[in-house]
Structure formats: structure tokens, C-alpha cells
Amino acid sequence: MNYRHAFHAGGFADVIKHIVLVRILLYLHEKPAAFRVLDTHAGAGRYDLTGEEARRGGEWLTGIARIMQARFSEKTLSLLKPYLDVVRAFNPQGALTAYPGSPLIARALLRPQDRLTACEVEPDARKHLIDGLRRDTQARVVDLDGWMALPAFVPPNERRGLVLVDPPFEARDEFERMATGFEAAFAKWPTGSYLLWYPAKSRRAADALAQRVAAIGHTTTGGGKCLRLEFSVGPQTAGAALASAGILIVNPPWTLQGELKAILPELEKPLGQGGAGRFKLEMPRA
């Protein structure tokens, strides 16, 4: 598997992940105390939708491009507007030519007291990310493997915040590394929020990850604090492009589940391929 950010920028999986990211960050705004965002596999930050990598898959055409043109109910539009406004800010001429990755979306939603730590080891991606955040006193780009960074940078001095784990899934043991890394980080910072992204090609691997993450939270905090979201745009077939992706949110905002219940049904039609997409939203069993 290979889900490098540049090849899939603006695709359905990005749209779902970044909507959730924005809703969590806006919830953190509700208290004046500072928070920290740790992005363990940050990528390049900004993606050229006219470039070769984005054109090769064209996933943004059935992802963010459709969402920008879709009609939503008043309630859902109000929930999506902060995310869509960030995307529009990267396309001031109106035409959709660029898409912001998670570190730049997070940076756009930091208040003056908040901070971002973005980890990236791939040289080209790291260079682009540094360029995108150059001279930014609130954001730091770190040349450190995300799996090492995950336990190393928690808890942050702010004691509030979010850890985003979105690896490229190039290695066979990536699911195991995610579970192990989360366990180590959560043991050090059980009150932080965690957003763990995964491709849902293997039902066995996805279910095992969700059960293990839920069990870790249950053992440490008494349970009930892991939310699982999976979104599919069509049937997943062997050798085909990714059609289903998932997110595990540990210590989600109490408002998030209700917000997603309003948003997700209205994303099924515009993001679905060859028919309506579908979603699953649940609290996984430990």
C-alpha cells in the first residue's frame, strides 16, 4: 500500500479527514487556554492540483471539487464552512488549483497562543513544508520519523491539543506500528485527543486496529472515548484505488458525533462513485 499525500491530495479521504480535523480544532477554540497540534506524518503542506502527481490520480476531481460545488442544508453548510474557507484561501483566484494538507489547515486555525509541531522525513516534502511555514513563530517543522515523534512529543507543554497520525502505509506492519505508537503516546498523555487515519482495504486489519485502540483507551480511562468513522465511495476491489478509509478519534469532543451525524449523510451523494457513498459511525468495542 502507498497513500502518499501528494498522489491523493483533495481526494475523498482527505475531505473526510480534514473536515474532522477542523471540527476538533474549532472545539479546542472554546477554551482560551493554548493547545498544541502534533502532525506525525505531515507531508508537504500544500499540493498543486495541476501538478503531475495530483493529475495522475485525479482524485481531487471526485473529492474536494465535488464538495465545493455541492449544495448542503443550512446546518451542514455552517459546519463545513470553516473547512471550505481554508481551502478557498489557498485558491484566491477562484479556480481550484491547490489543496492544503493537514499541517497548513491546522496552522490556519491556530490562535496566537497555539502551536503546531509537524514531522516529516521525506526531503522534498519537508522542504516544501518548511517553505510553506517559513518564519512562522507558531509552527515548527521537525526532521524526525513520525513513529519516533509520536511518544517523544507528548505531553506538550500546553497540556491540551490534538495528535494527528496519518502515515503513508508503505510498510506491511503500518497498522501494528500505529497501534503500538498510539499506545506509547496515550500512556504518557491520556487526556489528549488523537486522530488516527487508516485505509480500509483489509477488514480484518481495520477491525483489529479499532478494537486495540478502543481497548487501550478503555484500560486507561474507563472506556467510551473512541469514535470510529469509515467512509466508502464504492466497493473496494483488489488492485483498485482506495475506495474506503477510516478514522479513529480518541477523546473526541463531546459535540463531534452529533456534528458528523449531520454532515456525513450529505457527503454520500457528492463523494460516491457510481452511486451514493456510505458511512459508518460508531463507538468500537474494546
Instruction: Give the predicted TM-score (pTM) of the model.
Output: 0.95
Q: What is the pLDDT of residue 57?
A: 74
**Calpha distance 115→111 (Å, rounded):** 8
In whole angstroms, give the CA distance from residue 257 to residue 260.
Answer: 5
Residue 159 has pLDDT above 90, yes or no: yes
Span 170-185, pLDDT tens digits: 888 999 999 999 999 9
Report the CATH number at residue 260. 3.40.50.150
Bridge partners (DSSP) of residue 48 are 98
Is residue 98 classed as helix, strand or coil in its secondary structure?
strand
Domains in the chain, number: 1
For residue 146, what are the CA distances in angstroms to 41, 240, 285?
Answer: 5, 27, 27
Give dist(CA 137, CA 133) in Å, integer. 9
Q: Can you give the residue range of the structural domain that contains 29?
A: 5-282
Active site residue 85: no
Q: Which of 14, 39, 114, 166 is catalytic?
A: 166
Q: Residues 198-257: pLDDT tens digits?
A: 999 888 999 999 999 999 977 654 445 899 999 999 887 777 788 999 999 999 999 999
